[in-house]
Chains A and B, each alone.
Chain A
Amino acid sequence: MSELLVGVDRSDESRRAVEFATERARELGDSLVVVHVIPWSPFSFNTPEDNEQRPARRAAEIAAATTQVTEPMAAVAREVGVSVDTLVQHGDPVDTLIEIARSRGSAQIVLGRTGDGRVRRAVFGSIPSQVVQHASVPVTVVP
């Protein structure tokens, strides 16, 4: 049994990606891991007070993302009896998704075609397009 990694945020496109991955997993008898990455860089500049509060804030961010993003998405798969795991991690969304897929040995990454505004997309490219370019496993982008 292999695992499909679904990268999600709160968007409708992410929900469609989860539905697509759930369907595939059910057909193939695979499991899912629903991943949300909270954008974060170790090279940012903070105030001393931000740093002091950081451990508590990090825990709160992970808890909020779990209850508001990954668990509702995972419920879609659980409803139809697909085995599903959830994961929330801080980092660069593209690098983190690729690294999690590598470390867990995921067979495939599934993403919704969304996430960024026009300007950001024009300058940096969208998250799905960057994952497609750099991932070492097949990537499916769901419109």
Chain B
Amino acid sequence: MSGFPGVLPLSIDDTVSEYFGPISDFIVSVVFYSVTILGADVSLIVLWLIGAAIFFTIWFGVPQIRHLPHSLNLVRGRFSKPEDAGEVSHFQALATAVSGTVGLGNIAGVAVAISLGGPGATFWMIVAGFFAMASKMAECTLGVMYRRRHADGSVSGGPMYYLRDGVAKVSGNARLGKFLAAFFAVCCIGGSLGGGNMFQANQATAQIVSVTGGADSPFADINWVIGLVFAVAVGAVIIGGIKSIARVTEKIVPFMAGIYVAACLIVIGGSIGQVPSAFGEIVSSAFSPASVGGGFLGVLMVGFQRAAFSNEAGIGSASIAHSAVKTEEPATEGFVAMLEPLIDTIIICTMTALTIVITGAWQDEEASELGGVALTSSAFESVIPWFPNVLALAVVLFAFSTMISWSYYGMKATGYLFGDSTTAEIVFKVIFCVFIVIGAALSLKPVIGFSDAMIFSMSIANVIGLYILAKTVRNEIRRHLGKVESGEFARVK
């Protein structure tokens, strides 16, 4: 690869940036329309999401605390009937959804939050993660309630179906339901191309370039080549039908996640004495007006935004992944899905944040200027010098698995819009692969802007639907809890 003269490839990366940058800026300005409050830019879409999360926390009576043991028992299979063996278990549905959300958002997204908002952004990420558990519960319960069983026996669901059928039933307005569902599906295709694809390709490429020499890397000016390799691998799975690649990745990713968490614990454990002061800094700078432009509101917005991007609660994507579970009680999957933001944001993101804060990497000007995965990588490198190489492998696998998951979400949305037309699905898959190359070739700023905008736009229709269906979903949850209390829905082991 080092034999490439660099002139032509350099222009490809630059040309992509030149054309894509203004498009990205326009979309970002629309989706992230902000108002200035107390000197801080407050993005309405972020308020929209956090507002829904707080609403459902109150609406369901703080299920994050009251019903956590029930969630854990469901995931452990304590309520699963033996005759349902061989179907999709609660654990499998959760693991599939988590592997779609745990990815670069947890590694690079946290670094972006800290480089923009200081350590205090972590505090708001955790707070947002806590509330997000309730909105995730709402959307995944509805996903199962309104899922479809197809003629071939397969099962699929998601916001498209509860928006179309649920909203029509509750509001009596079929047009509104259809409109919200179609709007969601269009945004979901955008989200799958943005956060589920470009951001992943971009940051995985950045880490590969970083471990192969940074600015001196043979790939430094030909990022698109790495993107092309990714695109071929993803294309082999989603277009070529070589499912074994995806299956192997799904098996390896949990181990890589384990290695990642272990590495965080090594860094944290090595400086255990500094943990209280790191937490102290995270909490105090969360409220410190000096921490970032716009004061505490500015930090809060950064934290909330990155948490939402990472755990996707209120976005609706997880509802698609959870819908295949085997259960006669839709609320059970809501309780299980509640664990997703707990794992993703409260546990994994906090680990990344502590690693970055404890090592002081965020204060290193060069690293914090780079932001993203480079900052996380430099934090690990300061304690475990060889870890960036392992991180690169983990990042590539996380990115790949997230891209596979999101290609599925995008395909479901395409299928909904075009009546499961094979041609439309093929066109979507090809576009998906092209966007991998674009994501790899661009710099982080336009990619993260576009990715955020596309992912967050999914929440517009989804959250409207959640509010309309709030009573329906609460009744379903109460009905289920009544069955648990009466012993009708009892533990089998």
A interface residues with partner B (beta carbon < 8 Å): 38, 40, 42-56, 58-59, 61-62, 89-91, 96, 99
Contacts and interface: CB of A to CB of B under 8 A. Distances in A.
A132 to B, nearest CB: 22
B165 to A, nearest CB: 19
The A interface is mostly helix, strand or loop, or mixed, namely: helix
B321 A46 contact: no
B320 A55 contact: no
16 contacts: A40-B86, A42-B77, A42-B80, A43-B91, A44-B92, A47-B246, A48-B324, A50-B243, A51-B324, A54-B324, A55-B88, A55-B154, A56-B152, A58-B87, A89-B82, A96-B85
Contacts of B324: 48, 51-52, 54-55
Contact of A48 (B82, B85, B100, B251): B100
A44 B96 CA distance: 10
Contacts of B154: 52-53, 55-56
Given A46-B92, A48-B100, 9 more contacts: A43-B92, A46-B247, A47-B404, A50-B96, A51-B96, A52-B155, A89-B82, A89-B85, A90-B85
Interface string B257-278: 0000000000000000000000
A45 B86 contact: no
A49 B326 contact: no
Nearest to A49: B408
Contacts of B172: none
A11 B258 CA distance: 38
A40 B85 contact: yes
Contacts of A43: 89, 91-92
Contacts of B21: none
Contacts of A42: 77, 80, 85, 89-92
A91 to B, nearest CB: 5
Given A47-B243, A51-B321, A91 B92 contact: no
Interface string B207-244: 00000000000000000000000000000000000010
Contacts of B5: none
Interface residues of B, number: 38
Contacts of A45: 92, 95-96, 99, 250-251, 253-254
B40 to A, nearest CB: 38
B414 interface: no
Contacts of B325: 51
Nearest to A47: B246
Nearest to A56: B153
B95 to A, nearest CB: 5
B93 interface: yes
B405 interface: yes
Contacts of A51: 88, 92-93, 96, 321, 324-325
A134 B273 CA distance: 47
A54 B321 contact: no
Indicate the member of A44, A51, A59, A62 with the most B CB atoms within 10 Å.
A51
Contact of A47 (B91, B93, B149, B247): B247
B405 A61 contact: no
A50 B249 CA distance: 13
Nearest to A38: B86
B251 A91 contact: no
B285 interface: no
Contacts of A48: 96, 100, 320-321, 324, 405, 408-409
B88 A54 contact: yes
A62 B85 CA distance: 11
Nearest to B86: A90
B305 interface: no
B205 interface: no
Nearest 8 CB-CB pairings of A with B: A90-B86, A56-B153, A42-B89, A51-B324, A90-B85, A58-B86, A48-B408, A91-B85
Contacts of B243: 47, 49-50
Interface string B145-188: 00001001111100000000000000000000000000000000
A59 to B, nearest CB: 6
Contacts of A61: 86
Interface in B302-324: 320-321, 324
A42 B325 CA distance: 11
Interface in B121-162: 149, 152-156
B430 to A, nearest CB: 18
Contacts of B405: 47-48
A55 to B, nearest CB: 5
B75 to A, nearest CB: 9
Contacts of B404: 47
Nearest to A42: B89
Contacts of B96: 45-48, 50-51
A96 B155 CA distance: 26
B321 A55 contact: no
B96 to A, nearest CB: 5
B85 A47 contact: no
Contacts of B250: 45-47
Contacts of B156: 52
Contacts of A50: 96, 243, 247
B87 A55 contact: yes
A48 B99 CA distance: 10
A94 to B, nearest CB: 14
Nearest to B83: A89
Interface in B383-439: 404-405, 408-409
Given A42-B80, A45-B250, A49-B408, A55 B85 contact: no
